[in-house]
Amino acid sequence: MAIVIRLIALLLITTTTFAASKHQITSYTDVGNGKAIVLIHAFPTDQRLWQPQQQILKSHYRVITLDLPGFGKAETTDGSAITMTEYADQVKQLLTRLQINKAIIGGESMGGYIALAFLQKYPESVEGLILSDTQAIADTAEMKEKREASARDVLEHGTTNLVNSFMARALSNTASDETKNYLRTIVKEQSTTGIASALRGMALRHDTSDALAKTSIPVLIMYGEQDTLISTQESDNMHALAKNSQLFIIKDAGHLSSLEQPQQWNAAVAGWVDAIK
């Protein structure tokens, strides 16, 4: 029954596409009314990651999600690096199209890297920042090499190795089979070139700690207590840097806490958004 309800909910969400700069196609959904919340998906997923947020938060807020270039229904890429700032530019173009001057910008994992890049480049457009299971630091030299090796492997041999590796660490050991199957379906459908472009782009990102330290906007930082992909210490570090921040731990969740424990995640967001003046 739960799966049937989820499928019906997905059918009720209309996805729109439009031409953006560099001939990319941005695919997005825009549901609900109230404060605008833009949610940027994690690697290597697409905007379907946010289905639990679209269905619940839309009752109180305007929830906007998008497929980043190379993912979901967005136009494919050629495998070369797309930087976090370039992804952030796509978000800005979407806000301009929707005539939104300022919004709450949220992201999970790679989506958090993009949200921070957005804050760095477009601070006047940010009403608040949601950072879920992410970090502000740049990649180490070792991690850069791993990302490049992974990008080459995906382009040469397909996504099987990456999918299996990601699925083993994306969720906690107690995640439901329904959640695992839903996530695996999303990840398996992503293009090799989109994945390679994102891997190479993440390796190029800069440390955004300074942007967090300088901002006075409200910041909500969340992480799954069983996240094994990004150290929970990084969330603590961001909380210490951001003057106007709250830290929320999602219990019984791994790296993709918004998908694994949507009730906790959504409740944390709702309480925080309602407190923003």
pLDDT computed for residue 26 by the predictor: 73
As a whole number, mean pLDDT of residues 37-63 equals: 97
Task: Return the HEC string of 237-253.
Answer: HHHHHCCCEEEEEECCC
pLDDT band at residue 10 under the 50/70/90 scheme: very low
Note the pLDDT tens digit of each residue in 135-157. Answer: 999 999 999 999 999 999 999 99
Burial 76-108 (b: 16+ CB within 10 A, else e): ebebebbbbbbbbbbbbbbbeeeebeebbbbbb
Q: Are 192 and 154 spatial neighbours (Cβ–Cβ below 8 Å)?
A: yes
Percent of the chain with pLDDT over 90: 90
Q: Are strands 16-19 and 25-31 parallel, antiparallel or unpaired?
A: antiparallel
As a whole number, mean pLDDT of residues 155-170 equals: 97
Percent of the chain with pLDDT over 70: 91
Helix axes 192-203, 141-157, angle to 10 degrees: 170
Note the pLDDT tens digit of each residue in 183-195. Answer: 999 999 999 999 9
Q: How far is CA 225 from the centre of its chain?
A: 18
As a whole number, mean pLDDT of residues 2-26 equals: 50
Q: What's the whole-number average pLDDT of the chain?
A: 93
As a whole number, mean pLDDT of residues 57-84 equals: 96
pLDDT computed for residue 248 by the predictor: 98
Handedness of CA 142, 78, 258, 221 (dihedral sign): positive
Task: For residues 83 and 215, give the distance between their C-alpha atoms in angstroms, rounded to a whole number.
Answer: 22
pLDDT computed for residue 22 by the predictor: 55
**What domains, with CATH codes, occur in the chain?**
2-275 (3.40.50.1820)
Burial 183-202 (b: 16+ CB within 10 A, else e): beebbeebbbbbbbbbbbbb
pLDDT computed for residue 2 by the predictor: 43
pLDDT at 272 over 70: yes
pLDDT band at residue 23 under the 50/70/90 scheme: very low
Task: Select the more confidently predicted residue: 10 or 133.
Answer: 133
Spatial neighbors of 159 by CB under 8 A, at least 6 apart, are: 44, 187, 188, 190, 192, 195
CB count within 10 Å of CB 274 equals 10
Note the pLDDT tens digit of each residue in 77-127. Answer: 999 999 999 999 999 999 999 999 999 999 999 999 999 999 999 999 999
